[in-house]
A and B are shown apart, each in its own frame.
Chain A
Amino acid sequence: GESVGLHLPTLSVQEGDNSIINCAYSNSASDYFIWYKQESGKGPQFIIDIRSNMDKRQGQRVTVLLNKTVKHLSLQIAATQPGDSAVYFCAEIYNQGGKLIFGQGTELSVKP
């Protein structure tokens, strides 16, 4: 079946460095992708999204890259801060009623 998976379960970076979180998806029909941040004890929080007709989208300190050829998605966080420490999930939507499928998650730890 369709699935969204992540390459690394944990990522540790130094404060101020850039972080890159990767994600692989398997459904070539997916047309919308979202990155979420989840802090301990809270619900997921929207970070940035990208549609399948785009390769790159930038937000504030975050950039999402989409490579449809290899079904790969990445989230880049510039100048990572301690407040960025959280679990990051990628998710995909294929528009059969907007079913949103989540990956397992990557835990980002920022060292001061």
Chain B
Amino acid sequence: NAGVTQTPKFRILKIGQSMTLQCTQDMNHNYMYWYRQDPGMGLKLIYYSVGAGITDKGEVPNGYNVSRSTTEDFPLRLELAAPSQTSVYFCASRSTAIGTDTQYFGPGTRLTVL
């Protein structure tokens, strides 16, 4: 299993540009998440999904959109990039197997908005 993969690893955007952060998992997990992590801080939940076709807002959803057309993919869309969206973005998927309930994180996408 490749686990959770994210692309790109790094990206620089100009203010007002848009982009999609890709996330794919091959573990057949129903739950998927997007977090952002600012320097020296914890992770803030942006959006999450409990299955294909179902998404919901997290703690900091403004400025972002998501879709979940398949179990494997959970892309995050930034429509009008702002400097405040400079951060490291982590995607995660969740296993709820009996005895363990944990999340597997991708390697992250480092985004800078100038």
Contact = CB atoms under 8 A, between A and B. Distances in A.
12 contacts: A43-B107, A44-B43, A44-B103, A89-B42, A97-B50, A97-B56, A98-B50, A99-B45, A100-B33, A100-B94, A102-B44, A105-B40
B101 A104 contact: no
Interface in A43-71: 43-46, 49
Nearest to B95: A46
Contacts of B48: 97-99
Query: Majority SS of interface residues in chain A?
Result: strand
Interface of B: 31, 33, 35, 40-45, 48, 50, 56, 58-59, 90, 92, 94, 96, 100-108
Which applies to chain B's interface (DSSP): helix, strand, loop or mixed? Answer: strand
A43 B108 contact: yes
CB-CB nearest 4 A-B residue pairs: A43-B105, A102-B42, A102-B43, A46-B102
Given A42-B107, A100-B33, A49 B45 contact: no
Contacts, number: 53
A94 interface: no
A50 to B, nearest CB: 11
A100 B45 contact: yes
A97 B55 CA distance: 10
A34 interface: yes
Nearest to A104: B42
Max count, chain A CB within 10 A of own CB: residue among B56, B105, B106: B105
Contact of B42 (A32, A42, A105): A105
